[in-house]
């Protein structure tokens, strides 16, 4: 499916010209999204790696699915997009780390922090996978602009991801698409066996 050039780092596995596309729409603070992300890393990626059974045939695209009923959802997705801009190759490692500590950004823990404090905390988290200089750049990207309602430096990318989900009728996380159609049978609890069966049925080239 379509992806604007500045967000190519959201292709987290497989070659860009792979004939099949697996899109997964996830929210960083959704527990089921965290389970799916772990499965993508441990089960899907090995299957579609260059020497995997389906190497070269499938690409996987991470789709930011902001869930506005969680107050910090916007902030965590901003952080992911900021890392994607500063260090594209570290977007997925940062995403995995953010899923690991997602509970720190749940409603009650986050309610004790201001928006500025949450963004600063996320920038510090990025230093786990980035250099100190890169993490400082992430922090700069998450600063509010000088205009009263101008957002941050990654607001336009955030808008793109939200508009993309809305126009395609994606409402919940996680949601998985195979070649542009919702794959409602996919479960966040799947392991390697289930994913291998899925690819056996779906990969046609």
Which is it for the CA torsion 90, 202, 53, 35, positive or negative? positive
Mean pLDDT along residues 8-32: 97
Helices (H), 31-154: 31-39, 45-48, 73-86, 91-100, 107-110, 115-126, 132-141
pLDDT in tens, 140-176: 999 998 889 999 999 999 999 999 999 999 999 999 9
Provide the pLDDT for residue 91. Answer: 98
Provide the pLDDT for residue 15. Answer: 96
- Does the pLDDT value for residue 16 go beyond 90? yes
- Does the pLDDT value for residue 1 go beyond 80? no
Place of tokens 């603070």: 29
What is the distance between the alpha carbons of residues 128 and 123, in angstroms, rounded to a whole number? 10
Element (H, E) at 193: helix 192-202
- Does the pLDDT value for residue 12 go beyond 70? yes
Mean pLDDT, the chain, rounded, equals: 96
pLDDT in tens, 76-111: 999 999 999 999 999 999 999 999 999 999 999 999
The CATH class of the 5-202 domain is alpha beta
């Amino acid at each position: 499916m379509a992806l604007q050039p500045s967000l190519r780092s959201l292709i987290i596995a497989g070659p860009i010209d792979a004939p099949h596309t697996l899109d997964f729409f996830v929210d960083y603070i959704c527990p089921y999204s965290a389970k799916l992300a772990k499965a993508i890393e441990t089960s899907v990626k090995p299957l579609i790696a260059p020497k995997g059974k389906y190497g070269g045939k499938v690409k996987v695209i991470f789709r930011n699915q902001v869930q506005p009923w969680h107050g910090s959802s916007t902030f965590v997705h901003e952080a992911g997009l900021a890392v994607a801009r500063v260090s594209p190759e570290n977007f997925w490692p940062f995403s995995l780390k953010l899923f690991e500590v997602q509970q720190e950004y749940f409603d009650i823990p986050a309610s004790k922090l201001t928006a500025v404090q949450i963004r600063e905390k996320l920038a510090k988290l990025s230093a786990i996978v980035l250099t100190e200089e890169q993490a400082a750049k992430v922090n700069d990207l998450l600063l509010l602009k000088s205009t009263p309602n101008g957002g941050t430096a990654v607001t336009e990318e955030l808008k793109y991801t939200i508009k993309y989900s809305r126009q395609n009728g994606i409402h919940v996380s996680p949601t998985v698409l195979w070649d542009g159609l919702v794959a409602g049978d996919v479960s966040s609890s799947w392991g390697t066996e289930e994913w291998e069966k899925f690819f056996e049925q779906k990969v046609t080239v």
